Amino acid sequence: MSSPDEFQNALQGAQARIASHTGYLFEVPQVVPIVRSTYTYRNLSDEDLEQYVRFLESEAGRWYERIGTQAVKAAMAAVEQRFKAKLPLSEQKATEQSTQQ
């Protein structure tokens, strides 16, 4: 990229792509427990699975899943914020480089 305008357009495009995937990123934590459970408990008997389902449907089980999902969402939000915080630095560096040329 040879001009600050070209860089700005590319940066805005990247930011738009990131923003368009943010909703998807927050859907992932809702699917992860299902996939994790399916794999983890694949060798259990029907009786053991029924017992596990009863736990998940209990107050303690709902709390357990809610806390786990909140933790994953918080971690993903923190990563997103760190990533977004670095974008302006990249823009500043590219602008400095293009003015030096």
CA pair distance 83, 47, nearest whole angstrom: 45
Position 99 scores a pLDDT of: 59
Portion of the chain with pLDDT greater than 90, in percent: 21
- For 96, the 3-state DSSP assignment is helix
CA distances, 36 to each of 29, 32, 40, 44, 77 (Å): 11, 6, 6, 14, 21
Phi/psi for 73 (5° steps) reads -60, -40
The single-letter code of the amino acid at 45 is: S
Q: Return the pLDDT at 97.
A: 58
Q: What does pTM read for this prediction?
A: 0.44
Domain count, the chain: 1
What's the whole-number mean pLDDT along residues 2-13? 72
Name the more confident of 39 and 56: 56
76-92: per-residue pLDDT in tens? 899 888 888 877 665 55
- Domain boundaries, position 69: 4-100
